[in-house]
Amino acid sequence: MSRRRTATRNPARVATVDPPDPGARVALPHLDKGLPLDGGGVSAAGANVLREDLPLPVCTLRDAALRANSRALLDFLGAVGRATGADVVLAPHGKTTMSPELFHRQLDDGCFGITLATARQVRVARHFGVARVLLANELVGRREIDWVLGELRRDPAFAFTCLVDSVAGVRRLAERAAAVPAGRPLDVLVEAGYAGGRCGVRTLAEGLEVARAVGDAAPLLRLAGVEGYEGLLQTSPPEGRDEAAAAVVRSVADLAHALDADGLLDDADPVLLSAGGSSFYDLAARILAEPALRRPTRIVVRSGCYLTHDAGLYEPLLRRLVARDPLARAEGLAFTPALEVWAHVLSVPEPGLMVLGAGRRDFGEDAGPPALVRHARDGAELATPWLGEAPIERVSDQHAMVALPEGAGLHVGDVVALSPSHPCTTFDKWRAIHVVDDATTVLETVRTWF
Amino acid sequence: MSRRRTATRNPARVATVDPPDPGARVALPHLDKGLPLDGGGVSAAGANVLREDLPLPVCTLRDAALRANSRALLDFLGAVGRATGADVVLAPHGKTTMSPELFHRQLDDGCFGITLATARQVRVARHFGVARVLLANELVGRREIDWVLGELRRDPAFAFTCLVDSVAGVRRLAERAAAVPAGRPLDVLVEAGYAGGRCGVRTLAEGLEVARAVGDAAPLLRLAGVEGYEGLLQTSPPEGRDEAAAAVVRSVADLAHALDADGLLDDADPVLLSAGGSSFYDLAARILAEPALRRPTRIVVRSGCYLTHDAGLYEPLLRRLVARDPLARAEGLAFTPALEVWAHVLSVPEPGLMVLGAGRRDFGEDAGPPALVRHARDGAELATPWLGEAPIERVSDQHAMVALPEGAGLHVGDVVALSPSHPCTTFDKWRAIHVVDDATTVLETVRTWF
């Protein structure tokens, strides 16, 4: 059940489903960072990064890792579904990559839909043929609401759900739905939050009040289920972290129970229960499988980072997940870091210091700086044992300063690969990213739309 | 002298000077963040942000502030030039905005050229008609060097200078210049660095050695002057900061003196002396005006951030500059923050907390989070006295969590403007930025090429 194909997945990669709109395209030069300087084309297929066929810095994704990671999470969730008897599906968070080509890889592999964070992200996904979208956020702008309603009217195959956490927010949606009829209900999930967290109702009573406001707005709105987001807790201290995340997911289940008991979920088909960022999807799937509601349920987990993984932020979180979940251990759940940023050694100006030609414009730092993982010279990768002991100690916009072990140093013009921690804040530094094979030869160039 | 026009500035905004190249353009949909969701066009001229004509988040630049800031720095440098008798010019760092439309505003206002950080940034500037480029960085990649050499050969009007800080780097340039003849010398500046800094030679002896290597590579290479970058010191403790920055600039002057005395600058015409990020251009201009070399000199300062300024990182640094420089006081040197990011209030889920629909994907945080500076509801700006006391306390990729004073709170769906600290890391979150008038109506939509 969990490996279902989306009914409307697109056979063509990155097909455009927009209506004909001659004004909707703009001719731009091929100047994106990471593309050949000679402007020869938007794709760099066949170029080899080690051979320096492309200007640096450049960002790559290892194809083998993408494929294995995509399979690994879907297989694990399938196993959880079989073990619990629940309908567990994956709607990966698309804000991680904002790459339509990667969305379609995920959908082709069996994902249920794509999760997104803003109306404009939904617009991008729609343009590139994504049929089922969970907007894991409140939708409050009038312009944004109107666009979603128009899209629901235009395309009967568009499945869309967003979140509500206030009566005021529900009323805004209902007001626009009355003014710009979609011809069918706008589906919403009540968001269950927690004190000190982000959005979401803080109590069962608030949740019931918001749900009743949705009911009052029928048939313009329809209550489709309950959502929560425990993912922010991944950076809280390890002591009690799993319990706190479990409590957030449990509040989703509790609210669903309360709404179900009040008959407020009677129009949901099935009831969607959603939680689960990239660190706690095991807890989300298992806890949300527990409530016995009067109507069928579907559990939607939303990890965005499994596809690329990383050795900084997510590998320790994955190890923790595997340690607590027997099925993850039995399935041998594992991911491989797929994302790398390549840079030249610009200078080795003093003992103990090396300057690289990539900086905070090229990789994220919010979860720590990237690690040096590869070293190449004259087109060949070299084994350089001290790389792992050479941390990036300072970063400026276009440079990274690496602290070197005593006596170590590379040559000016050598090439190094950096492995970022937290993919989200590295993806958004690039408009063109190269999917590469094991020899670091470009197979496909994917675009991002941040 | 300092207000000179570049000889080759382009009469047309963002003119393309590339040779005809039918493969060099790609038709992309109008899906960039901040553009209308209906795909109606790449420009949003006439749209009003307060009226929510555009989807949020959106990024704006105040036209009046851009114009005043641009004038203010050029006027100040002109005054320094007159006072010292030196030829002081501004080649603003283009990496801040990476917006060709803004580059041309700067050139039209009298800037000498554009400073850039990578070969690919130079490629963007060249495509959009920038004639004079200072690459304030080492150029070490073979592919990148070859592209620059080809561009020098193709366009006799292209004026290009880059940095060298090692004999190895000089040899790489010379090797490529021998293989890919440009038909004229490749101009380089020796970079003077400092212990614990970034690139750059650490001693006079090293500087002389690198300069001699350049001389040995004549006529392929030509030594055009000396460069240093004191800007990283702007975040060091205030005690002794100005003195440390002055010492870095003085090392540039000292190295220039030594090279001049050795006859190594005899081919430079004029000798370029460059320093001066966005905090110490006064020190740079004054100190670099001191050395009496045997040949005429031109002082190139490179501030990137004056055009947009900000109230977080740069206003205190400007106040310090004005306090130490009598001409800055006499001229009343002042800048106005131009850059704002607008977001909806998504949720006010508990007392003391408000959640905005913009996050680290929309503004920089490396110099502290943005400040709330404006509030609008139903198309009108409101005076909300506590805005300045409501800091952004936590940020996630697409959200900002604002701590509220007791009893304060906005309505769900209200609009707020955020004023970022450090423009560089906010510009790079946007591909389309709207230049607005005082009523926040869009005058022009500029693109960025990060």
pLDDT digits (tens, 9 = 90+) for B192-231: 999 999 999 999 999 999 999 999 999 999 999 999 999 9
Distance from CA of B86 to the nearest CA of A (A): 31
User: Cα–Cα distance between B72 and B74 in angstroms, integer?
Assistant: 6
For the entire predicted model, the pTM comes to 0.94
User: Cα–Cα distance between A172 and A141 in angstroms, integer?
Assistant: 9
pLDDT at residue number B44: 82
Closest to A119 (Cβ–Cβ): which among B40, B55, B141?
B55
pLDDT at residue number B29: 72
Closest to B140 (Cβ–Cβ): which among A18, A24, A346?
A346
Q: What are phi and psi of A350, to 5 degrees?
A: -155, 160
- Nearest Cα neighbor of B432 from B22, B28, B16, B12 is B28
User: Cα–Cα distance between B149 and B118 in angstroms, integer?
Assistant: 15
pLDDT at residue number B20: 37
Helix-helix angle B63-84:B100-108, to 10 degrees:
40
Share of chain B above pLDDT 90, in %: 89
* Per-position pLDDT tens, chain A of length 450: 343 433 333 333 333 344 434 445 666 678 899 999 986 655 688 999 999 999 999 999 999 999 999 999 999 999 999 999 999 999 999 999 999 999 999 999 999 999 999 999 999 999 999 999 999 999 999 999 999 999 999 999 999 999 999 999 999 999 999 999 999 999 999 999 999 999 999 999 999 999 999 999 999 999 999 999 999 999 899 999 999 999 999 999 999 999 999 999 999 999 999 999 999 999 999 999 987 899 999 999 999 999 999 999 999 999 999 999 999 999 999 999 999 999 999 999 999 999 999 999 999 999 999 999 999 999 999 999 999 999 999 999 999 999 999 989 899 999 999 999 999 999 999 999 999 999 999 999 999 999
Distance from CA of A329 to the nearest CA of B (A): 31
- Nearest Cα neighbor of A117 from A101, A102, A131, A97 is A97
Range 239-278 of B in CB contact (< 8 A) with A: none
Burial class (CB in 10 A: 0-12, 13-18, 19+), B183: exposed
CB < 8 Å to A52, chain B: 141-143
Is the pLDDT assigned to residue B19 strictly greater than 60? Answer: no
pLDDT band at B274 (very low <50, low <70, confident <90, very high): very high
Taking one residue from A and the other from B, the number of pairs with CB-CB distance under 8 angstroms is 256
pLDDT at residue number B151: 97
Distance from CA of B97 to the nearest CA of A (A): 12
Distance from CA of A237 to the nearest CA of B (A): 16
Mutate to test the interface with A, among B53, B130, B198, B302 (most CBs of A within 10 A): B198
User: Cα–Cα distance between A51 and A114 in angstroms, integer?
Assistant: 36
Mutate to test the interface with A, among B313, B366, B397, B445 (most CBs of A within 10 A): B397
Does the CB of B366 have a partner CB in chain A at under 8 Å? yes
Does the CB of A52 have a partner CB in chain B at under 8 Å? yes
On whether ipTM exceeds 0.95, the answer is: no
What is the mean predicted confidence (pLDDT) over B373-399? 96
CA B158 distance to own-chain centroid: 20
Which runs of consecutive H residues, i.e. helices, occur in A49-195?
Answer: 63-84, 100-108, 119-127, 142-154, 167-179
Whether B350 contacts B359, CB under 8 Å: no
Question: Could you tell me which chain A residue has the CA closest to the CA of B117?
Answer: A398
Question: Could you tell me which chain B residue has the CA closest to the CA of A29?
Answer: B25
Does the CB of B51 have a partner CB in chain A at under 8 Å? no
User: Cα–Cα distance between B107 and B104 in angstroms, integer?
Assistant: 5
A141 to B55: CB separation less than 8 angstroms, yes or no: yes
Does the CB of A378 have a partner CB in chain B at under 8 Å? no
What is the mean predicted confidence (pLDDT) over B11-26? 43
Does the CB of B126 have a partner CB in chain A at under 8 Å? no
Is the pLDDT assigned to residue B3 strictly greater than 50? Answer: no
Least confident segment among A13-22, B265-274, B419-428? A13-22
DSSP assignments along B252-263, one per residue: HHHHHHHHHHTT
CB < 8 Å to A357, chain B: 118, 137-138, 140-141
Whether A202 contacts A155, CB under 8 Å: no
Is the pLDDT assigned to residue B10 strictly greater than 50? Answer: no
Question: Could you tell me which chain A residue has the CA closest to the CA of B410?
Answer: A168
pLDDT at residue number A24: 53
pLDDT band at B292 (very low <50, low <70, confident <90, very high): confident
Whether A435 contacts A339, CB under 8 Å: no
Condensed to tens digits (0 to 9), the pLDDT of residues B135-156 reads 999 999 999 999 999 999 999 9
CB < 8 Å to B401, chain A: 198
Mutate to test the interface with B, among A153, A347, A378, A449 (most CBs of B within 10 A): A347
Question: Could you tell me which chain B residue has the CA closest to the CA of A39?
Answer: B24
CB < 8 Å to B197, chain A: 349
Does the CB of A368 have a partner CB in chain B at under 8 Å? no
pLDDT band at B45 (very low <50, low <70, confident <90, very high): confident
Whether B40 contacts A25, CB under 8 Å: no
Range 306-325 of B in CB contact (< 8 A) with A: none
pLDDT at residue number B40: 62
